[in-house]
Amino acid sequence: MVRPVPQRITSMEILHAFGIEWKLIVIQALNFAVVLFVLHRYAYKPIMAMLEKREQTIKEGVEAAEDAMKEKERTESARTQILLEAREEGGKIVEDLHKQGIEAERKILREAQEKSAATLAEAKSKAEEERDYILRESEKEVARMATLAAEKILRGSEVKA
């Protein structure tokens, strides 16, 4: 048996056997390259630029939110500190006013006691003067009465004599 000599099959024949035309493949590759170029230039780049811009905007928004949160915490801390200081200062003011009130009360009481002591001393002095006056007047009256009595006695003895 003679074996037939195998023929060499070329790649073109294989492609043709499967129904693939190389010219069509080249044309389709060119079409794909053109579509890819157009999409890349007019769709992909603008979309990517828009996405990057949106990403940057979102990133800035997140950073701004974080900054706002930190600022809120600082403000809250400062507010709490200010409130504590105000409470302490208010307490000190109330305490000082209370001390001033007590001092004023003591001063008023001291002045009232001094005034009452002065009034009492003045009243005693006036009473003493009044007593002395009454005693002098009564002594004068007693002396006048004694003089009158002596006069009467002397007149009475002159009439008899």
Query: What's the rounded mean pLDDT across residues 117-143?
Result: 93
Residue with tokens 């693939």: 20
Q: Are 22 and 12 in contact (CB under 8 A)?
A: yes
Domain locations along the chain: 11-152
Separation between Cα atoms, residue 76 and residue 92, nearest integer Å: 24
Taking only the tens place, the pLDDT of each residue in 8-43 is 777 777 777 788 787 888 999 999 999 999 998 888
- Count of residues in the chain: 161
The percentage of residues in the chain with a pLDDT greater than 70, rounded to a whole number, is 93
CB-based burial, 65-102: b 16+ in 10 Å, e otherwise = eeeeeeeeeeeeeeeeeeeeeeeeeeeeeeeeeeeeee
Taking only the tens place, the pLDDT of each residue in 77-111 is 999 999 999 999 999 999 999 999 999 999 999 99
Residue 161: pLDDT band by 50, 70, 90 thresholds? Answer: low
pLDDT at 131 over 90: yes
Between 21 and 127, the higher pLDDT residue: 127
Query: What's the rounded mean pLDDT across residues 59-77?
Result: 95
